[in-house]
Every structure is written in C-alpha cells, then in structure tokens.
Structure 1
Amino acid sequence: MSRSSRLLKLVEILRSHRRPVAGADLAAELGISLRSLYRDVATLQGEGVPIAGEAGLGYVLGPGLTLPPLNFDVDELDAVVLGLRLVERRLPGGLGDDARRALGKIEAVLPHGRSAADVQLLVGTPATGSARVLDAIREAIRKEEALIIAYSDKKGAASERAIWPVIVGFFDTAEVVAAWCELRQDFRHFRLDRIEQIAPAGRPMGRRHRLLLADWQLDRDCGEGF
C-alpha cells in the first residue's frame, strides 16, 4: 500500500469512530509500526486534517473535514451496490427511492471507467408492499412516538394495538417489527404485511427508545426476540 493510500485509509478509519482510538489499534489495522503511525498522524495534522489527541491518549477526527469522494475497491463496490439494489427491489417507494438516489450519487463519483452496472449481482427478493408501513415505523422510532396499528394475525383475527416500535427485521419473505405492545404489556413481533392501518398515536412512547432496545435485546438473548 502506498503512503498516500495509507493516509487516506487512516482518515477513513478515524471517520468511522466517534471516540478516540488508541494509536496501537490504528497501527495494527494499518499494518504499520506505532512510530510510522505517529508520523502519519503528524503529516495529516500538518495538512490541516483536524485530528485531535496524542500518543498514549488516542486519536479522534474532529469536525470540519471535507474529503473528495471515496474510491471503492472492487469488493466494496459489489457490497454497496448489492445492498442498495436489495432495498430498491424490496421496498419500492420510500426507502427504495432513497436507495435508488444513493446509487445514482455513487455512480456519479466513481472514477472514470467504473460503473455500478459492472456489478453483476442481481436481487431476486420480491417487493412486499410494506414500504408505507416501514416509513411510518421509521419516523415513529426517530421521534420516539407510539403508533396505533390495525393488525391481522396468521389466523386472520383482527385487533387494534398501541405499540412502541423498537426495530425492524428483514427476512426472506417478510419484514417484522419488534415492538412493546401496550395491550400485552410485553414485546411482540408484527409482520409489516399484516398491518392493515397505521397511524401516530399522538403521544410519546412510554420509555426512551434506547431503553426499549436494550430491554428487547435482553429478551432476544433469552430466546424471545427475532
């Protein structure tokens, strides 16, 4: 790896962490000595890259950095394009449109001679028609708001539930939302394609989302989650 490539990779590593990273960990990930890592950091700081920290304390990338578009290697581009195609195919409208736009932005910044069309990986997962429901759930999670849903279980029994959505899982043939159900006073899992109506409840969840997520993860570890 050339030094210029190594410096760019160092910046990418720091951009992926919000907390200080020990110099020894950075050096190990880059495959260089700690002394070389210190020289690289000093070089970047001298070029105006806002890296804060020092030897023995760790390093963190500060705000204000503007970089040119990143250059994906072959495997990285395959992974990104396949993931975006999956979202676009499975969730037309809403998040699927976002995936299509993101793919267009990536296409625009690829080096000359490279194209997302070169990625010969197709997605066969059919659309589920749950994009509208998913968008409502995502917004509720962001705002930490409760939802009212009209739901039909696998036997066709209908019910109305007030839920506090936690997380959405994507499976081969369906999407499932894990949520706290006010009716059952416990976590329940609802298939998005069986949610016939969905609307904000007009009030916040009874607990902060991060606490709900931690509780659900504990249930999952005990065999009650996805």
Structure 2
Amino acid sequence: MRYLTLAIVMLLAACSPEKAADPAPSATPAAAPIAADAPVILAFGDSLYAGYQLNPGEGYPPRLEAALNAGGTPARVVNAGVSGDTTAAALQRLTFTLDNQPVKPTLALVGLGGNDMLRGLPPEQTRQNLDAILTEFDKRQIPVVLTGMLAAPNLGEDYAGKFNAIWPELARKHKAGLVPFFLQPVIGQKALMLEDNVHPNAQGVERIVAATQAQVAEALKAALKE
C-alpha cells in the first residue's frame, strides 16, 4: 500500500493542477428492492472496486447498483474487488470467482492494472494477464467493460506509452467497452479523495458513478439483447 500511495500521489499531482472540488453530485438514492431475476454485473478488480476504507455500501459496486436501479436499469452488481490485486493475482482467482457465481453474470466490469504499475511490473506482463482475463470472459460469453488506468509520470515516457496503450488496444481486440481512466472524475480534487490521496472517498465514488453509470447501463442493455 505504501507503493500505491507514493506513486499515485505523483500521478495525481502531475495529471492535474490542484483545484477545489466541483460540487459533488447528490448522493445516489437507495434503489427499490431488486428483483430476484435482475441481471448480474460482476465487478472484478482491485481496491478501487473493493471499497478501500469506505463503510459498507459506499464502494463503487453498491453505489453503481443503486444508481442503475434508481435510473430504471434493474441490475445486481456483485463486488469481486480485492485490494492489492495485481493482474497476475486476479487471473489466478478468475476461474474460481466465475465458477462460484450463483447466477452467470450478464456483464462484467474489469478494473485492474494499477498495482502492476505501482510495482513497476513490465507492461508486457500486465497486457498478457489482462488479455488472458478478457479471453476467459469471452469464452464464457460474458461481455466486458474495462475501466482503465494511467501510468504515474515518474515511470517515464517509454513505460507510460506501453502501459497506457494496453486498455484501448485490448478493448478493441476483445470488443469490450472502455472507460479510459477510472479515476478521471476525481483527479486533483482532494475533497473527493481519502487522506491517502489515492482512493476516492464516498463523495468521490458518487462522482465516478455519475461519470460511468450511463455507459454501464448501455452495455448491460446491449448484453441482454445478445
């Protein structure tokens, strides 16, 4: 976690000048009870999905679920985020995770790679692991929306060029949806971040949900038509 903090603080500082947070959107209202047959979205990722240091119900998966249902898109979002996961660790648990879902996911969100970058792992390794993860979802006929990451500037232009290209290129290869940079809605806005300046706080999560809800809803509707 120490490496995570140091590297993303540099990322946040370099990507955007410090600025006051825009007014955060109102908290997403709690959705009505979800129908038992609502389609399932599997959120498969790291601490940004797991809800690091947030209260139960404040992380991205539960808040996205509430927003989708409140907006008229019935869905149940299953949180399969594990803090600290690299793409290699996630690949190792993917089969077990999918095999043990009570209901086959209609759609998956995949948010991984940040911990690879923060450990300075080779981008080629990250690409290979993410490619294998997406291939497994393809085999099971589960459409995916990728939520991307950017390299910290201190790692250099060569590393960043190789790392940042992974998500758009794999999205094209696997015909997946793409959120280019998951943290973009909270970059440089301390009021939307935890004290570590790495993870979004509850307000920051609401901002990310507001930025991604429509795309996820459209991807889910498209998946239901397949």
**TM-score normalised according to structure 1 size:** 0.26
Larger radius of gyration: 1
Greater length-normalized contact order (CA 8 Å, ≥ 6 residues apart): 2
**TM-score normalised according to structure 2 size:** 0.26
Structure that is richer in helix per residue: 2
